[in-house]
Structure 1
Amino acid sequence: MTLMRKVLFFLLLCLTAYPGKATNFHSPNVAGPYGVGFRVVQHYDRAHVYKQRIDLTSGTTTPGERARPVQTLIWYPAKKTSGQPLRYGDYVRLAATETEFARSPAEVDRLVTAALAENYANLDSKQRQLELAQPMLARQAADAAPQQFPVLIYAPGSSSSAYENADLCEYLASHGYIVLASPSLGVTTRSMTLDLEGAEAQASDISFLVGYAATLAQADKAKIAVIGYSFGGLANVLAAAQDDRISALVALDGSVRYYPAIAQAATYATPERLAVPLLYLGGKPATAEAMHRNNQISSYSLLNQLKYADFYNVTMYTMEHAAFQSESLRLGPEQRFGDYTRAEATVAYGWMERYVLAFLNAYLKGEAGAATFLHNAPKANGVPIHLLSVEAQRAESAPPTLTTLATTFATQHYTNLAESYRAMTKTAPAFKPAERALISWGEPFLDEKRYAPAVEIYELVNALYPDSPRAAFYLALAYDKNQDRARAIENYQRVLSFWPDMAEAQQSILRLRAQSPSK
């Protein structure tokens, strides 16, 4: 029996078993050119504790493994005819092993049955069975496509399972991306806490997956983006602010918009550290009156500060918050979609997928056609009228950071550093790299005997920190190595004005004077 005949036979069987029943969700987009493989990796982040030393339910020492569990779902481009086909229920069962990897099949059955009954009471038993039996695009342990692909990390909403947007993850994998996802866990609890500590725990999980992706032969480690839904769409921003391996961000109605106090409390999440392209897809904005009633009006918006990033703000007018993840579209009650039907929300979900794909293709694969799609008027892309709108904001400039300064210095063949710094401060007057960061920047040049660039760096350090004995010492050392005896002696003497007893400076002056023909 051919694959197509098997699929048709299965669908016919479902319709026969449940006459009059229709499935809630069908993928709105055609899959890409690759098959989709799927596997699960269960490992621990041993740098972080998950279970506390004392079990709060028993009051005794917690037995067994206490490290943070990271059950990782991996979708990857694959050969189309290999592997075991998956059904949606295969994803749902994974929720039972997110924190306890060794649960028996019977335990998994019991927990999944209870969770479905509690969370999706809208489904009768026949509808539930029909939804769980739906065939998916992915195939278990399929043969990987023989090349490297960009990496996507998917961060789910608060307390949600890693498979919550399995349809989006499969769709992106079919278009040539490796997608990794892990559950949204609190610091020490299965439930996420909606605070900075919780967001940073998920951000840490994201970076853990970025590191794990580097071990995958299929992964292009230089091209990594993070997609986050809801609270995951705040955690991914915090992760990118601390992990420069992340080169693009997607937020699906992300909490970076709705929890400004958490974003503001993460003081490291600055425009300078978030100079990566960002696609934000959100629902129709609430009225000012509704925001006031819900205490959501804030004078702070991190998104409005992202002047060093290409920023695309897409408003999806027919999508409530729940419609941005396919688990709700498949299993949730109709009421989750507000004034719109499930069918209308599904159409919008399909366009959400297409904009996410175009953004990733533009920024991770450099496809000109994808960039054009992003900048087109929605009508030119075939978007139904009144479905969505797009605001595109180009980065004003490179961020005023030491990295930008170092890049400019390199492109200018390691000359004119002071001029480059002055040019940057014209648009960013407050830009002043930390003294120790500048000193550390110069040290490899000394080690590699590239003394002229080291001199320029330490001249800048001394201009910015004229009262620093450490800066004076490194400048003296650079002049000394560069055979500029007069300036070396002058700056060793400056060092002694700060540290009169420094033997190394005293001895260097004696040595240089002994070498000088004008001694």
Structure 2
Amino acid sequence: MRTIVLMTLVLFQVCFIKGQTSLKEINLEKGEYNVGFKHYTRIDSTRIYQIENNFDNQLINRPIPISIWYPTKTKSSEFNQLSVLDYLKILKEEEESKNLPNELLLDWFPDLGDTPQNRAHLSEKVNALSDAVFLEGKFPVVVYAPSYQASSIENFALFEYLASNGFIVISSPSRGTDTRWLEGGTSKDMETQSRDIEFLIKEIHKYENIDFDRIALMGFSFGGLANAITVMKNKTISAVVSLDGTERYNYSVLEKSPYFNLDRFDIPYVHFAQKDIPEDVLTSDNIPAELNYKFQLYDSLKYSDVYSYKFHDLTHSYFGTIGVLFAYRDKRQDKSDEKIMASYKLLSKYALQFLNANLKNDEKARKFIENGPHENNISENLVSKKMKKPITKEFDYKDFKDLALNHGYKDLIPLYQKSLSKYPSLKLEEGMLNNLGLRLSFNAGMLEKGINVFLLAVHIYPNSANLYDSLALAYLYNNDVKNAITNYRKSLELNPENQNAIDKLKELEE
């Protein structure tokens, strides 16, 4: 797969020798479920796109090819078991070369290569069963963002592994704003991929088998950068997995987004990084040495559990299934195929445990993630870890408003008291509460919620004539004359010069 066309491109695509690997040797042990797979295309009518290989310059609504892996009880004898070639046919489609003969496929895409070893991969059977029936129940979902201009299926072995362990994985290809081609890793490219990710977040709501309270993002390379900005725009995400994401290497692109806001990145985040680049490669390829140690996003995040793992036998390309199976090896720095496959398996295990901990609240998995490698009987020659815990975030009016919304604006007084005991500095300004109560009261279907806000407000500010006046108005709007009179009287008691209360009481009592 294409991975990245940024300042770090040279890290990942030096070609010397072909690898010899297989899915069987990677040996990702299947979980308790069989795996179903579907591939289809949706249309985003809000954006325009051009398929260059049609050679007609026609503009169409943006197509979003979608691949989805999911748990199923269907047996392989009942449905078609896919092969690696079936996945690469999806690659052809997403690369807009669907009419390309299969025998030319490996030669056509330079990231694959027509070698005996690669030809042998095509017939390998995978675990996924085409169009199998979804297993009943609610499952957490992983929304995947591929590497630079890569296919939705680039990490298919990992996706099958997660689905067999009770996750649904959904992915779409990485493509440019106007055509298949990205501009070179710009902030525009990042925003385009982020919008595709948001399209998938919307798409999952069409599936009754998905638990919408348990959504994680996962991305490889440029996909990790797009995921980082997506988290800053969306509050529905529970965790983020980055497979050597370029938010580590190209933090400046992230900062250019108008949505950049580190305070909104407050969920668990794990970054799995490639091995240190040898000094001779840094020198010969003119790569900044700081790429081995600088990680500004990790250093800058304050309000989330943050984990960073470095895999000492993996260079960048091997964080994806296609890379492990097909990519050329750089003999200056790449490890043996055996070590690459073993580390990819270990990477997959860590990703699963992180997701189990944060989407399934699995304490055993949480302990695995919190442990150092040696505590999990893993050699630190394979992987090293660092982590940091979040600092306590200041809880303010906006946070309480979001909390109240999630509670349907019910039981606000005990909710406020509980919040105040946890966050003693919490201050809800009188004017803000009055404004929120009025907005809710005169919004269709939200009058009761507005009244609840006013009841909280007069609880906090019992001497505010203005709040009682507003509460009375809300009751009056609800045709509750008795409570309207009671609260107008209370307002007048606190402020005898409240002419509005005088007029309303005269009108109501007549």
Aligned equivalent of 2:207, options 216, 219, 223: 216
Maintained 8 Å contact 2:302/2:390:
yes
Provide the residue aligned with 1:96 in structure 2: 92
Instruction: Decide whether aligned partners of structure 1 residues 35 and 460 sit closer, same or farther in structure 2, where only a CA change above 3 A counts.
Output: same
Q: Secondary structure at the match of 2:413?
A: coil
Q: Aligned partners of 1:442 and 1:397: how far apart in 2?
A: 34
- Is residue 149 of structure 2 the alignment partner of residue 151 of structure 1? no
Provide the residue aligned with 1:75 in structure 2: 69
Q: Aligned partners of 1:434 and 1:262: how far apart in 2?
A: 38
Q: Secondary structure at the match of 1:187?
A: coil
Q: Aligned partners of 2:375 and 2:418: how far apart in 1?
A: 45
Q: Aligned partners of 1:66 and 1:356: how far apart in 2?
A: 37
Q: Secondary structure at the match of 2:350?
A: helix
Q: Secondary structure at the match of 1:307?
A: coil
Provide the residue aligned with 2:120 in structure 1: 130
Aligned equivalent of 1:415, options 395, 413, 416: 413
Aligned equivalent of 1:484, options 473, 482, 487: 487
- Is residue 316 of structure 2 the alignment partner of residue 325 of structure 1? no
Amino acid at match of 2:161: Y
Instruction: Decide whether aligned partners of structure 1 residues 450 and 99 sit closer, same or farther in structure 2, where only a CA change above 3 A counts.
Output: same
Q: Aligned partners of 1:296 and 1:221: how far apart in 2?
A: 39
Q: Aligned partners of 1:394 and 1:412: how far apart in 2?
A: 32
Q: Secondary structure at the match of 2:304?
A: coil
Could you tell me how far 1:306 is from its partner in structure 2? 2.2
Provide the residue aligned with 2:232 in structure 1: 241
Q: Deviations over 1:359-394 (max 9, x none)?
A: 111111111111111112212222134111222323
Maintained 8 Å contact 1:38/1:138:
yes
Maintained 8 Å contact 1:154/1:182:
yes
Q: Aligned partners of 2:467 and 2:276: how far apart in 1?
A: 55
Instruction: Decide whether aligned partners of structure 1 residues 336 and 365 sit closer, same or farther in structure 2, where only a CA change above 3 A counts.
Output: farther
Q: Percent identity?
A: 24
Instruction: Decide whether aligned partners of structure 1 residues 286 and 440 sit closer, same or farther in structure 2, where only a CA change above 3 A counts.
Output: farther
- Is residue 178 of structure 2 the alignment partner of residue 181 of structure 1? no
Gaps of 5+ in 2: 1-18, 476-483
Q: Aligned partners of 1:137 and 1:493: how far apart in 2?
A: 78
- Is residue 150 of structure 2 the alignment partner of residue 160 of structure 1? yes
Instruction: Decide whether aligned partners of structure 1 residues 251 and 456 sit closer, same or farther in structure 2, where only a CA change above 3 A counts.
Output: same
After the TM superposition, which of the residue ranges 183-192 and 278-287 deviates more from structure 2?
A: 278-287
Maintained 8 Å contact 1:315/1:389:
yes
Q: Secondary structure at the match of 1:50?
A: strand
Q: Aligned partners of 2:111 and 2:199: how far apart in 1?
A: 30
Instruction: Decide whether aligned partners of structure 1 residues 135 and 364 sit closer, same or farther in structure 2, where only a CA change above 3 A counts.
Output: same
Provide the residue aligned with 1:50 in structure 2: 49
Maintained 8 Å contact 2:270/2:306:
yes
Between the two structures, name the one with larger relative contact order (CA 8 Å, sep ≥ 6). 2
Instruction: Decide whether aligned partners of structure 1 residues 476 and 203 sit closer, same or farther in structure 2, where only a CA change above 3 A counts.
Output: farther
Provide the residue aligned with 2:34 in structure 1: 35
Amino acid at match of 1:294: P
Instruction: Decide whether aligned partners of structure 1 residues 192 and 145 sit closer, same or farther in structure 2, where only a CA change above 3 A counts.
Output: same
After the TM superposition, which of the residue ranges 207-216 and 506-515 deviates more from structure 2?
A: 506-515
Could you tell me how far 1:278 is from its partner in structure 2? 1.1
Q: Aligned partners of 2:349 and 2:326: how far apart in 1?
A: 22
Maintained 8 Å contact 2:21/2:337:
no
Could you tell me how far 1:162 is from its partner in structure 2? 1.0
Instruction: Decide whether aligned partners of structure 1 residues 272 and 385 sit closer, same or farther in structure 2, where only a CA change above 3 A counts.
Output: closer
Provide the residue aligned with 2:478 in structure 1: none
- Is residue 358 of structure 2 the alignment partner of residue 379 of structure 1? no
Maintained 8 Å contact 2:219/2:241:
yes
Could you tell me how far 1:213 is from its partner in structure 2? 1.3
Could you tell me how far 1:262 is from its partner in structure 2? 1.7
Q: Aligned partners of 1:276 and 1:293: how far apart in 2?
A: 32
Maintained 8 Å contact 2:434/2:467:
no
Maintained 8 Å contact 1:251/1:280:
yes
Q: Secondary structure at the match of 1:263?
A: helix
Q: Deviations over 1:57-105 (max 9, x none)?
A: 97x8x43x611111111111122333111111111111221265xx76x
After the TM superposition, which of the residue ranges 268-277 and 289-298 deviates more from structure 2?
A: 289-298
Provide the residue aligned with 2:249 in structure 1: 258
- Is residue 171 of structure 2 the alignment partner of residue 171 of structure 1? no
Instruction: Decide whether aligned partners of structure 1 residues 306 and 488 sit closer, same or farther in structure 2, where only a CA change above 3 A counts.
Output: farther
Amino acid at match of 2:137: Q
Amino acid at match of 2:70: Y
Could you tell me how far 1:477 is from its partner in structure 2? 2.3
Q: Deviations over 1:245-301 (max 9, x none)?
A: 221110011111111112212243323322211111112356999699539689993
Provide the residue aligned with 1:451 in structure 2: 451
Instruction: Decide whether aligned partners of structure 1 residues 240 and 509 sit closer, same or farther in structure 2, where only a CA change above 3 A counts.
Output: farther
Counterpart mapping for 1:103-122 below 5 A = 106-107=99-100, 109=102, 112-116=105-109, 118-121=110-113
